[in-house]
Amino acid sequence: MRAKQALPAAILTAAVAGGIGVVASPAWASGDVTTQACVLNASGVSVKNNLLTGTGGRSGCSNTATLKISLYEEIPWWPDDMLASITKSGTNFSETISASCTTLPGNYYVEVTSSTGNVKEGRHSDPCH
């Protein structure tokens, strides 16, 4: 009986003294897709007839948040120019945003900012030039 009691004490002592830590995996790591985390989505920008379009939104969420979905032109060595912006509240949704191409060559991108503090930036590309 003493050996059974000594083993947990020895493991605990080794864990504390040796710095052994226990790491738990999140529930979704086991393959249970119903418990995956809430994520923001921001697409790349495409163009048709000189009109830039992109989408932003959120998925896998159970709470309500307000998103600001913006379309930017990247300007080197200067703050990027916001070409368009929309705001929407909801749980899981996607919204399309659009603006005209500018005359200068440059990259464009979609940025999604959540009222929860998260930000997602889409792929930068230059579909206009």
Confidence of residue 31 (pLDDT cuts 50, 70, 90): low
**How far is the C-alpha of 53 from the C-alpha of 43, rounded, in Å?**
9
Maximum distance among all Cα pairs of the chain, rounded to whole angstroms: 83
Domain map (residue ranges) of the chain: 33-121
**DSSP H/E element including 59:** strand 51-59
| Mean pLDDT value of segment 109-128 | 96
CATH number of the 33-121 domain: 2.60.40.1930
Q: Is 27 in a helix, a strand, or coil?
A: helix
**How far is the C-alpha of 51 from the C-alpha of 100, rounded, in Å?**
5
pLDDT at 33: 52
Q: Look at residues 49, 57, 40 and name the one whose alpha carbon lies nearest to residue 99.
A: 49
Report pLDDT digits (tens) over 44-75. 999 999 999 999 999 999 999 999 999 999 99
Query: Poorest-confidence range of 1-5, 38-42, 72-76?
Result: 1-5
Sheet holding 65-73, edge to edge: 81-90, 65-73, 108-114, 119-121
CB 108 within 8 A of CB 43: no
